[in-house]
Amino acid sequence: MHAGLCLLRLPPRYFWALTPIEFFAMTGGLKMRHAGMERAGLEALMQAFPDG
């Protein structure tokens, strides 16, 4: 409640109308942890799923 009403400053009617995933997204829960794949991850995928 503190995050929604105080930090995000949502009016109570909007706060209580949020779905859990909307609240999760608004509080930063859906931020990307890694922007891309590193070389080791690419090589593992290439070995697991070879072309040919």
Q: Look at residue 30 in the predicted model and tell me its pLDDT.
A: 79
What gap in Å lies between CA 52 and CA 27, rounded to an integer? Answer: 44
- pLDDT, one tens digit for every residue, the chain (52 residues): 999 999 999 999 999 999 999 999 999 887 766 567 788 988 998 999 998 6
Rg (CA), the chain: 19
Q: Look at residue 35 in the predicted model and tell me its pLDDT.
A: 63
Is the whole model's pTM more than 0.75, yes or no?
A: no
On whether the CB atoms of residues 23 and 4 are closer than 8 A, the answer is yes
